[in-house]
Structure 1
Amino acid sequence: MNYYPSIRHWLTRLSASDPGLLRLKQASKVIFSVISSVVTTLLLLKLAGSPLFTAAILSGVIGMMGILVVMGDTEKEKKVTTLLLALSSSVSVTLGTFLPRWNHAADGALLLIIFLAFYLQKYGMRYFSICMVGFMSVYFSSLLKLKLTQAPWFYVAIAVGITYAFLWNFYLMKDKPEKVLKRSMMSFHKQTNLTLEIVKESILDPNKSKARLRSLRKNATKLNEYARVISEQLGSTDPGDIWPGIKPNQLRLYVFDTEMLIETFVTASVQLKLLHALEHKEVRETLSNVAKALIDAEVLRDEYDPKHLHVAEKTVQSLRSQLNAYNTKQMDSSKWLYLVRRIESIANHVIDGAYILQKAQEDYLKYGAKDETKPKEDEPSDEENDSNDDEETGLKLSTKKAFQAVIAGGLSILLGYLLSPTHQYWILLTAYIVLLGTESVGSTYVKAFQRTAGTLIGAILGFYLAELVSGTGIFEVICLFFCVFMAFYLFQVSYAIMSFWITMMLALMYDLLLGGITEKLLQDRFVDTLIGAGIALLVSSFLFPLKTRDKINESIIEFFEELETYLSGFLESFAGKNKTINLADAAFNLDQKLNQIRINAKPFEKIPGKFQNTGVERWMTILVAINYYAKHLVASTSRKSQYEQENELVEMIEHISECLKDNSQTMRELLKGNRNLSVWDLHDERKFIEKYPDRNKGKVLNHALLIHNLYYVWKINQSILSLATELGASRKLASTQKSSGDMAK
């Protein structure tokens, strides 16, 4: 009986691990397309009495690529691209039958296709898809030394593969954004509840557990990832189609508040234990009750019972009453009371957001849909896109990558003929794939390492698996298709794991095609992979190299651009201006920028000591703190009208906003290499605000609330000052630049 909660926990974790079931659906489409293509082509070959088994393999490859490489902004664009893949593959197969007659003509064709695959990306991803399929078709036909008389069957195989890819992608398993969003919200709620369960256990358990702390942080990070996924989906999907009456901004704010509540609960529960606050029975029990009540308050469940939300509201009210009682008690609770108050504040936001969603659905059922014109999502204008292109001086990244790929391809073909003439393109294929999707030298290194490691382990285990299932017929085929499914299901989790499953698949395929597999063949496979990955890394390091640190700096600059917009939008309401941005949207955008910095910094984590020695670890710590403070500006502050009516305060807030804007711009200049700059120290501004007489009694926003709402603004600026001074900037007092004499008083 004791095992049931653990089993239920892991089943829930498994179902929550794929937000929207996007990976499962993509992998399912790939495997169904491959199986359909291979089986249909085999049946046609059998009916015609043709022994050309390799045509079925090409059909499966085209069926797979027709799912994987087709990209576009609209469904119509994707459909056109899919059909163009058939033309690209047919032309490439035709070339593959003729070119081997002339020495190295096929090599030249492959290098040309590789160059175009990278170079044409600046005109659209469609051209990359076309070239990718063209490369694989020339590679396949040249490898098999295809004869002209066999070409018609390969055309049939291409047609079958593209047909099934088209059917599975656009009809049989068509992507429905509404279902994806609904599944994503289910994953989000499951992950929320899993984390709250651990928080509740941590609060009630008097012992400190490092393992539980790691689990809490890991789960909070997962929830942050799920929240970003939902925010992106809300850009193109109307939640009103799933939950009638609910608007995108309402749901996005609810998701944001819930994520912030979990983040706050996790950090606060740890600090409360360290400060011995949880030794007070009433605090411990009330906080655990809040966590338990929030677990049941999933307002978007189909079988949702409204009483759960009322219970959660009453539980938070009891927490508020307890806070008020502690304020009057003669005890030293000032060190930890603010942590509990922060939980109470954000929990209120979550419950308010849940009531808004609930009321929106109820109003829709009562009064029907309102005649409203949906506001268009903010999209970059053509002028903005053009300006972004103009900012890139010299050769574009796509052109640089094209030249890198050609040089790497040429070296790969040369070494292929010298080292492994029986499969001279294996090195080329690895070098090509390693260069795909990598921008910096560090990211190329990581991908090369993952490709090599995955291939090595896959070759070893694949050899023994092939030996084990060899001659079992249908079971061997099932294992092969299982490897294909796992490769693409886990592709977004780890490229090394994908490489492992792909190599396992190839081992089984070689066994089927060759009637047996040798250690020498898989050894050659690994060595060629190692050489190809090394060539890709070498070329990216010496030809148009983009250093990892430069790439990190680029993403940090984008982070500060987003931060500037975010802070300006937050402070606008205090000066009586209408906010020009949705702060919840901006918070998710800021999160996305921080995540991109993490991705770009990963190569340093793979090299022992590099992360610490370069200072990137410290920078990441400060940027994470800035992001945390920025999100709490929205999560921890009042959601009511915040217009400050005292002219002096309005002027001061506008002045603070300008200083923060200048500091953000200065940080971007410092990251670009400019020096002898200075940043504003807002120490006197904070003193002015906090010591300003409370003349606003009876008004919407009182002085104490203003101090509370601006608390994280000072924390953000202190973090910016810390980073700026490390880059050589000097501090200057902003108050000395302010004309008003009130500052000096």
Structure 2
Amino acid sequence: MASAQRTAKGVWDRFSASDPGLLRLMAGLRTVGAILLALAVLALIGTPVTQLVAGAIAAMVATFAIQEKEVRGQAVTLALGLPVALAAIALGALLNSRVIAGDLFFVLLIFAAVYSRRFGDRGTALGLIGFQIYFVSLFVSAPVSAIPGLWLTLTVAFACSAFVRFAVVPETPERTLRRLREAFRARLAQLVAHQIDLLEADADDVDKVLDDLRRSTARLHEAALMIQGRLAEGTRDASAAALLQRRVADAEIAAERLGVLLLNARSAERVDTLTLHLPQSAAPLPPRARLADDAGSALRRDLRALHLLVVRLVPDDRGTALPYVRNRLLGYREEQGLPQGSPAIQDCFRAVGEAARAILGLRLAVDGARDEEYDSPEAARSREEFEAEEISIAGEAADADEEEPAGLRRPTTRAAVQVAVGSALAIVGGEFLSTQRWYWAVLTCWVVFLNTASTGEILVKGYRRLLGTVLGVVAGVALAGAVGNHTWLAFALVLLCVFGMFFTAPLSYALMSFFVTAMLGLLYTLLNTYSLDVLVLRVEETALGAACGIIAAVLILPVRTSHRTDEELGTVLARLRDVVSAAVAQLSGGPPVDLVDLARDLDTALDGLRSSTKPLTHPIAPLRARRQTARYVMALLETCAYHARSLAATAELVPSSKSVAADARLAIAGQRITHNIDLIAAHVRAEETTGAIESGASIASMLDSGRHEVLRTGSVAFRVLRHLQRLDEGIVGLARPLGVPLEKRAEHRP
């Protein structure tokens, strides 16, 4: 029985890790449930098949268009969406026979729908509902006489969507955050498991295990970012949000640091953190043989114990064994019971102790971990440190208002103009291909502009949509032939396609387009308009719409991918400088600041840069050298961000910890690093600069005041210096691919 429970928990952990917060699963279930309920209600009142199709699509739109996190906001937007939908379906029916007037109104509607994105989630949802419902009227060729019936159909569809959203598959910010925490725990367990594999792998398997380690590290960071995005709505107040954010960041940093040190212990030379962020980079050669001495065996045992602590990191998991295991691992922080071994091995044990402390902090933040009676002195001291940190957490800092571009420089206005022009081209071209189904070209043009900000992103998205459409046509032919005249079987397959569409949308746009096109083949079968020519026309209209979108993006107010990435890169550098300067200032004895929010802003900016560089790193990108450079720059920035987050986490301990003391000499190191970041940022902004990147003497040698103090390897001061040194090297390394001049220095110390 216990074995079966462990197996079931392991399977659930893998699924939870693959779908953080179960967001994709809930989106699919909610949409399918709304469609199913709408079809059942409409069938009971004798609705014809054409209106059944319209009701199914309306229920789908009413469900997926609402993206607000607060339940009250969702209800308000859904209530406002119904009159928008009623007006759109009526105008679509009235203008269906008036070609020129209908086309002009469609273009204006598209402009308004895209422009409304500037008003946040509600504006985006209402614009999407208006566009999609108008499209439904074109799809079912709604006549004026059918308007009353269609109004009833839409009302039922929206009511069913509301019932499923708020009663059948309810979703609250607190529940979503709780599931995201569970996904973070599951991904943390996977990362520790891959770290164990790294320690046990043969020399020939190190590179493969390193790929798994790199992937699981990135997935853990992704889960941490998702938690950050839900903290404001999912916690009771700003203090609770800041506390949870800090504990999640501590766990992420401790796990990543442990991976670097384990890789260093397996390698014959010192490992740079860049190895964990640069895709397909090989481990430093030659790797050492599998650690087989007593220290290696003890390290493998303690990693398994750490994995157990993570797996059992749930509120209902009580017992005396876990606290004793935790207490033993925490002792490594204080050098207690530290096994004999090389300095690299001992660093790993210390990192295990820090990871155990981070897990304890995460459990305290989540459920209080009421097992103090089993605490060792080290565990009690860790609890006291956490309590002191919790008291020192200040109120939420006010966000600085950034000046928003105006006029055509505003992203929503520019995108609205581009989509309107592209749609006008798609309407003209689509009419030449088909006077009845020209709207597919318009839909494609509309979709390729959603969630894109540069020409390169639009090009990649158009390519993916065309690929998914071609594959979906093949599936649509097969499904339509299998369904025949079985109406309800066709609806059942439509529901499967809808679920697949929403479950795969965040993972693969091509896969989502595949399910959309397969679903359309089934809908055409229901409308008795299916033929192979229709699906081939769908491919042609899709290619035309993608081409029109790309033409509009290139010729009308274009935003080049390089310009977009430069803007995002400048933002990342500014956020990196903020974190480093504030952390160094606090480590140097300056006043405490909210470093958690600064680190969060850095992660958000880095995520934006990562999205903007996807067109450059995509396999279809023609410039291979540019693709490699983009990957290298991203890896360097992620490495620098890791060390900056680590500095910030250490600096946060200064006001409340007895073991971490400020050192005024660190300000010297911070000056060189921030100077180099400023020069690179100015170069990215194409500003005139006269200086050069400073390099040369190591950070440790810069801080030597003549006392020749020997820093203990596991001390906090040593760790701070190591992060500063790696950060300094990363910034200097970043200057080379970006073409920033380097200052020549004769002296260089390792």
Structure 1, residues 567-603: CA drift from partner, whole Å, max 9, x if none?
12212333323321134x4434433322222211111
The equivalent of 1:600 in structure 2 is 612
Aligned-residue offset at 1:566: 1.1
Q: Deviation of residue 292 (structure 1)?
A: 1.1
Length-normalised TM-score, structure 1: 0.85
2:234 paired with 1:215:
no
Q: Quick check: 1:638–1:709 contact (8 Å CA) kept in 2?
A: no
550 and 253 in structure 1: CA distance in 2 versus 1, 3 angstrom threshold: same
What is the alpha-carbon distance in structure 1 between the residues aligned to residue 608 and residue 153 of structure 2?
40
Give CA-to-partner distance per residue, 1:444-492, whole Å, 9 cap, x none: 0111011111111111022112212323443332111111111011111
Q: Secondary structure at the match of 1:314?
A: helix
Which residue in 1 is equivalent to 2:485? 471
Q: Distance in 2 between matches of 1:103 and 1:357?
A: 62
The answer to whether residue 154 in structure 2 is matched with residue 161 in structure 1 is: no
Matched, 1:28 2:26: no
Amino acid at match of 1:79: A
The letter for the 1-side match of 2:464 is Q
Q: Which of 181, 193, 198 does residue 194 from structure 2 map onto?
A: 198
Q: Which residue of 2 aligns with 1:343?
A: 351
In the other structure, the counterpart of 2:230 is: 233
* Aligned residue in 1 for 2:433: 419
Name which of structure 1's ranges 517-526 and 298-307 shifts more when overlaid on structure 2. Answer: 298-307
Shift of 1:359: 9.0
User: Does residue 1:541 correspond to 2:538, yes or no?
Assistant: no
Query: SS at the partner of 1:289?
Result: helix
1:259 is the counterpart of 2:256: no
CA separation in 2, counterparts of 1:263 and 1:182? Answer: 23
Q: Does 1:105 align with 2:101?
A: yes
C-alpha distance in 2 between matches for 1:703 and 1:216: 24
> What is the deviation of 1:535?
1.3
Range that drifts further, 461-470 or 337-346: 337-346
Q: 1:134 to 1:181 in 2, by over 3 A?
A: closer
How many residue pairs end up in the alignment? 700
Q: Does the C-alpha gap of structure 1 residues 666 and 338 become closer, same or farther in structure 2, counting only changes over 3 Å?
A: farther
Aligned-partner Cα distance in 2 for 1:525–1:493: 24
Instruction: Answer yes or no: is the 8 Å Cα contact 1:235–1:377 preserved in 2.
Output: no
Query: Does residue 678 of structure 2 align to residue 665 of structure 1?
Result: yes
SS in 2 for 1:492: coil
Show the 5 A alignment for 1:538-687: 538-583=551-596, 585-606=597-618, 607-608=620-621, 610=623, 612-613=625-626, 615-634=629-648, 639=653, 640=657, 650=664, 652-679=665-692, 681=694, 683=696, 686=699
Structure 1 distance, partners of 2:433, 2:329, is 72
What is the root-mean-square deviation of aligned Cα atoms in Å? 3.6
1:408 paired to 2:422: yes
Q: CA deviation at 1:68?
A: 1.5
- Tell me which moved more, 10-19 or 446-455: 10-19
The match for 2:397 is: 378
- Check whether the contact 1:345–1:636 (CA below 8 A) recurs between aligned residues: no
Q: Deviations over 1:408-428 (max 9, x none)?
A: 111111111111223121111
Mapped to 2, the partners of 1:99 and 1:359 lie a distance apart of 59
Whole-angstrom distance in 1 between the partners of 2:699 and 2:151: 73
* Alpha-carbon contact 1:342-1:636 (below 8 Å) kept: no
Alpha carbons of 1:101 and 1:251: their partners in 2 closer, same or farther (altered >3 Å)? closer
Task: Give yes or no for the alignment of 1:432 onto 2:446.
Answer: yes
Match in the other structure for 1:738:
none
Q: Which moved more, 1:674-683 or 1:156-165?
A: 674-683
Query: What is the deviation of 1:57?
Result: 1.9
> What is the match of residue 737 of structure 1?
none
Moved more, 5-14 or 172-181: 5-14
Aligned residue number for residue 503 of structure 2: 489
Whether contact under 8 Å (2:247, 2:362) holds in the other structure is yes
- Aligned match of 1:87: 83
2:41 aligned partner: 40
CA distance in 2, matches of 1:618, 1:215: 19
Which residue matches 1:743?
A: none
Task: Label 1:198 to 1:685 Cα distance change in 2 as closer, same or farther (>3 A).
Answer: closer
* Whole-angstrom CA distance in 1 between matches of 2:392 and 2:253: 31
* Consecutive unaligned residues in structure 1, runs of 5 or more: 327-332, 735-745
- Say which SS state the counterpart of residue 423 (structure 1) adopts: coil
Residue equivalent to 2:733? 722
User: Using the alignment, how far apart are the partners of 1:715 and 1:665 within structure 2?
Assistant: 18
Query: Does the CA contact (< 8 Å) of 1:289 and 1:315 recur in 2?
Result: no
1:143: how far off? 4.2
Q: Which moved more, 1:636-645 or 1:443-452?
A: 636-645
* 3-state secondary structure, aligned to 2:527: helix
In 2, the alpha carbon distance for the partners of 1:262 and 1:363 equals: 24
- 1:587-630 CA-partner distances (Å, limit 9, x unpaired): 34433322222211111122345253363233123212212322
Note if contact 1:313-1:351 (Cα within 8 Å) is conserved in structure 2: no
The change in CA–CA distance for 1:166 and 1:376 in structure 2 (over 3 A counts) is: farther
Alpha-carbon deviation of 1:677?
A: 3.5
Query: What secondary structure is seen at the aligned counterpart in 2 of 1:576?
Result: coil
Distance 1:682 1:205, change over 3 A: closer
Q: 1:546 deviation in Å?
A: 0.9
Question: TM-score with structure 2 length normalisation?
Answer: 0.84
Task: Give me the whole-angstrom Cα distance separating, in 1, the residues matched to 2:478 and 2:71.
Answer: 43
The CA deviation at 1:431 is 0.9
- Tell me how far apart the structure 2 counterparts of residues 637 and 291 of structure 1 sit (CA, whole Å): 27
For residues 705 and 363 of structure 2, the distance between their equivalents in structure 1, rounded to whole angstroms, comes to: 37
Distance 1:181 1:505 in 2: 32
Contact 1:299–1:309 (Cα < 8 Å) also in 2: no
Tell me what 2:317 maps to.
303
Take 1:549 and 1:494, find their aligned partners in 2: how far apart are those partners?
Answer: 24
Question: Is the CA contact 1:642–1:701 (under 8 Å) kept in the aligned structure 2?
Answer: no
Q: CA deviation at 1:507?
A: 1.1
Contact persistence 2:302–2:329 (CA under 8 A): yes
Query: Do 1:632 and 1:712's aligned partners in 2 also have CA atoms closer than 8 Å?
Result: yes
1:270 paired to 2:270? no
Query: Structure 2 matches for 1:70-81, cutoff 5 A?
Result: 70-72=66-68, 74-81=70-77
Q: Please say which of residues 313-322 and 484-493 is displaced more in the overlay.
A: 313-322
Summarize the Cα distance change of 1:178–1:58 in structure 2 as closer, same or farther, 3 Å threshold: same
The 8 Å contact of residues 62 and 162 in structure 1, kept in 2 or not, is answered as yes
Change (3 A) 1:598 1:360: same
Q: Does 1:389 align with 2:404?
A: yes
Q: Which residue of 2 aligns with 1:15?
A: 16
The farther-off stretch of 652-661 and 707-716 is: 652-661
Contact 1:63 1:161 (8 Å CA) reproduced: yes
Cα distance per residue 1:207-265 (max 9 Å; x no partner): 53143332222222212211222232223322799xxxx94444333322332333233
Task: Give the whole-Å Cα distance in 1 for the aligned partners of 2:682 and 2:52.
Answer: 57
Contact 2:174/2:234 (<8 A) preserved: yes
2:315–2:369 CA contact under 8 A, matched in 1: no
State the distance in 1 between where 2:337 and 2:16 align.
37
Q: Does 1:447 align with 2:461?
A: yes
Q: 1:479 to 1:718 in 2, by over 3 A?
A: same
- For 1:33, the aligned partner's letter is A
Deviations along 1:45-75, whole A, 9 cap, x unmatched?
x1xxx6x322222222221111211244754
Q: 1:662 to 1:419 in 2, by over 3 A?
A: same
Native 8 Å contact 2:244 2:366 kept in 1: no
| Alpha-carbon separation, structure 2, partners of 1:707 and 1:223 | 26
Looking at structure 2, the residues matched to 431 and 136 of structure 1 have their Cα atoms a distance apart, in angstroms, of 13
Once the two structures are overlaid, the 10-residue window that deviates more, 688-697 or 135-144, is 688-697
Change (3 A) 1:481 1:644: closer
Q: Match for residue 188 of structure 1?
A: 184
Partner of 2:305: 293
